[in-house]
Structure formats: structure tokens, C-alpha cells
Amino acid sequence: MSPQQIDVPHFTLNTGAKLPAVGLGCWMGYPGGGEDCENMAKTAIKLGYRHIDTAAGYGNEEHVGKAIRESGVPRSEIFLVTKLNNKDHGRVAEAFQESLDRLGCEYIDLYLMHWPQAQNPDATDPRHDGSCEGKILTPDQSPTYVETWQAMEKLLDTGKVKAIGVSNFSIKTLEVLLPQAKVVPAANQVQLHPCLPSFDLLAYCAEKGIHVTAYTPLGRKDSPFFSDDTIKSISEKHEITVAQVLLSWGVQRGTSVIPKSVQEERLKSNFTLVKLDDEDMQAIDNVHKKPGLHRQLLVSPIIDTVNGTVWGWTHEQLGWNLDNAGYWKS
């Protein structure tokens, strides 16, 4: 059947700002990727993307900013997101200004705390050697993520950031943060896809007025979705790609999505959403119930599948109901 294409919608944040539902994720799989990232962003903007997501830790803010400036699209029409690095939790104001300078713009639409974990600023990046030992502060060591958030709240008074939010926060960490926050996070960016649908977290954030953005919405390169019979049958039914099925599902369930591709055709198709029917949505909602599929899909040096830690914190400290290998605990 011919797909029923829909325009990319916008979600309204608790600040009143409008966030385009499909954005461009600028993590290149490794820190940097300068020119490739810049060309990708330029192509995406040309195709109509108006939501660009980067981070200090991605090492490509300068190239993202250049792509925006040279796009010919007014800055006011682009929703720009960047993130606070783990090593900068104790110097929020300075780190924010450094991101602003690298981006070469006057303001940021949404500034996120990338992870609740604070890194010892004098330690080497754990991604370089895969070791977090002695480099990551424990949840009760200062600056805690509550203290970091309180410093982020002060950024709003500068007029240089329109909204602030968090990333990789669970119900557990939000339950600690919110009672001590003057400002409710505008967004929480987390890993979301049919293997990790996180229904409870979505419901919790909706109740608190926190928008949820899905990173890794397509899984990784060897994602199980591209061979899954359920998702493949829906893509064939609507004559669309598997990626379009996943992104359309993500947006229809109320989350924004930030896929990445350096290939123009994939950028174009990723930006083309379709209307999935209720039967499709329910079928994708249940994919995680298949044997071995209820799990996280990230692969990174900062993930220790032997000890069950991410950036030096256990899954329990993060509030993630996962076993050491990253599978959901029933």
C-alpha cells in the first residue's frame, strides 16, 4: 500500500518553545569527525532539518556552528541543542560559554546535562582507554548532578540559553533531582527504540511535563531491527524503509528522534515520516517481548558489560533496570 506521508510535527516544550520532531544527531561514532559532520549538517539543513543536536563531548561544535551559519537559513529557524561535558560539571558557566564560542552563535535553544555522572576534570577521557576507575565521581561526591543542575538554572538568567534539560536520566535520578530543582527540565534525551521502549519513563516524564528525545532510535549498525520480521513486514506493507518505520513509531509515541547519516538519500528518507496504524504501533510496541530483544544497544568503551557499569556508575546507581550485559531484568 502507498504510505500516508505526514509533515514533520513539532512538540511544545514546557517553556513554550517548538521542537521539530525529527532532528539530526551529530555524534559521528567517535569524537570529532569535523568536516564529515559539517557536510552532513549542511546537507540535512538543505533537506529541511531544523533541529540539530550536538555536544561538547562530540568534538564537533565548531563544524556544526559553521554549517548553520553557512546554510543561509536564519538562526531563529533552527533549534540547536548541545550538552555539558562530564568533566565540566564543576564549571558550568565557563563550559557553556566555551560551547557558545565554538558554535559561533548568540544563543543555544536547549542545553542538556549529558550524563548525571561528573568526571574528575584532571583525569583522562575514559573513552581513550576504556577505564573509568578513579576518573568518575560517585553519586554523592560534589558536584552532584543536583548541584550541576542548580548551576545550569543560573544560565537562564543570561538570556544565552532558551531552555535546559538532562540526558540519560531515569525515573530514579529524576526523583532525586526534581524536588531540589527550581526549573523542571524541558527535555530528557535517552536511548529509545523498540528493544528499549521505556514505557514507564515516558509516562513519568509526560506527567512531569518533560519532553523525551530518543537517541539511537535506529539501534546500531548491526541493529536487530533490520532483520526483525515484525518491523520488516510493516516496512513492506507501507513501502518504506525500516528506518522510516522506526522513526515514525518514535514520533507517533510522542518522542522526538535524532537519527544520523552521512548519506544524503538516507537523510532524506529519515526526514520523511508516515502514518502508522494502531495495529502497526502495537506490533512495534511488543517487539521487545521477543526472546533476547529487551535490551540496550549501545556499544562504547565507557560501557562495562562485565561489571554492569556505564561511565563508572552501576546500572542501579543510574536507575536502569538492566543486568550487567545490558539486558532488561524481568
Rounded to 10°, the helix 242-252/229-238 angle is 90
Measured distance between the N- and C-terminal CA atoms of the chain, rounded to whole angstroms: 38
Residue with grid cell 528499549, as numbered in its chain: 196
Q: What does the block give as the cell for 1? A: 500500500
Helices (H), 61-119: 61-69, 92-103
Largest alpha-carbon pair distance within the chain? 58
* Grid cell for residue 194: 523498540
- Annotated active-site residue 58? The verdict is yes
Residue 299 to residue 86: CA distance in whole angstroms: 19
In this structure, how many other beta carbons lie within 10 angstroms of the beta carbon of residue 116? 28
Contacts of 122 (CB under 8 A, 6+ apart): none
Quick one: DSSP state of residue 27?
Answer: -
Question: What values do phi and psi take at 190, rounded to 5?
Answer: -140, 165
Task: Considering the candidates 49, 58, 111, 145, report the single residue annotated as catalytic.
Answer: 58
Active site residues: 58
